Structure 1
């Protein structure tokens, strides 16, 4: 079974573009068994995508939350995460029986990146070992190394904001219970780098929305 564990819809208000209906359609078209919609600071996009998913597509309710130290992805959520303090966010995720993953942890080009230390190992469940939007592949390699050293789950995702990115990275597992597969590290990651022009598209989208808000 094949899953992309990091996708954004239009509910990522600053940088998202894709309609939930489009995401569900693209996931099936690209041969995915499931997809995690992880919009910034909300689960609305995931819930909406689930409405359009056929019975053969698993939609994981997720969110990429900005904490006091950087971003954390919560997977398998049932409610919005209200906290912003790093430890409180982790606790909220776990209180919902969710999984806490640090996305793009060692990407030096992202100010939003949370750089985990060994002191965080007892709090987080995993790290994103391959993010298809990372420009420098050393960032992904460092994440994999950290995950292996500390026996954490190592996940992957496309970090898709546009249709051509969906399914470019993710995990493969034989376990039909994805949550269990992640926690027991019964997953393998796959991925290819997204086109660099997608970063330009995202930057342009952010500028246009900022201008629109100021009018």
Structure 2
């Protein structure tokens, strides 16, 4: 089986800190066959990762886009997504030949959660049914139930912002399969475990530190 982490953040995310080169090294060390760089509202990290792609690991350029309804991940992107209305975002992703995945859809602890409804099913390609940063398993369980009910592909991602998180959740597909086709044909399986809540604290501390630094610069 091929093992992909389909949700990670580099220093190009406002709440990220990892250098892209280091992120790729860790992913390879953890035994991943591929990783998607999905920075917030930019493909800069993903594009850099594609250029740096080390031998033995597949690299997917992606982006976690904040829409009017919540976050949507686009995979296999070549350009930044300009829209912010959710249907327009998904249309832009697909116009680039990408696939649209909804991450952590029912995590009530995140204001960025895209709470999926029945009529959203035809729009999206997959649901992140295991997000390692979900503090409670019930959030991932709800995502899995939605995927089962509406026949959507299942993906897993670490949502890593720090190196120690990479690979904590991942997506499996058959050896020799094409990831994009496997998602579209619903031939993926999600596995993984929850990361320590400490990483949420570290992310919050990083954001606070950066806000303070910005205020000092403006003064």
TM-score by length of 1: 0.98
Q: What is the match of residue 8 of structure 2?
A: 7
Q: What is the match of residue 173 of structure 1?
A: 173
Q: What is the match of residue 185 of structure 1?
A: 186
CA-CA distance at 1:47 after TM superposition: 1.0
Whole-angstrom CA distance in 2 between matches of 1:211 and 1:130:
33
Unaligned 5+ runs, structure 2: none
* RMSD of Structure 2 on Structure 1 (CA): 0.8
CA-CA distance at 1:187 after TM superposition: 1.2
**1:106-132 alpha-carbon deviations (Å, 9 max, x no partner):** 001000100010111111111110000
Q: What is the match of residue 82 of structure 1?
A: 82
**1:39-92 alpha-carbon deviations (Å, 9 max, x no partner):** 000000011122222232111010000001111000011111001111110100
Q: What is the match of residue 200 of structure 2?
A: 199
Whole-angstrom CA distance in 2 between matches of 1:114 and 1:171:
20
Q: Any residues of structure 2 matched to 1:134-173 within 5 Å, and which?
A: 134-173=134-173
Q: What is the match of residue 42 of structure 2?
A: 42
Count matched residues: 214
Q: What is the match of residue 19 of structure 2?
A: 19
- DSSP-derived class of the 1:8 partner: coil
Alpha carbons 2:170, 2:191 under 8 Å: kept: yes
Q: What is the match of residue 128 of structure 1?
A: 128
Unaligned 5+ runs, structure 1: none
Q: What is the match of residue 210 of structure 1?
A: 211
Whole-angstrom CA distance in 2 between matches of 1:20 and 1:34:
14
CA-CA distance at 1:170 after TM superposition: 0.8
Whole-angstrom CA distance in 2 between matches of 1:124 and 1:187:
15
Whole-angstrom CA distance in 2 between matches of 1:186 and 1:90:
21
Runs of 4+ in 1 over 4 A off after TM superposition: none
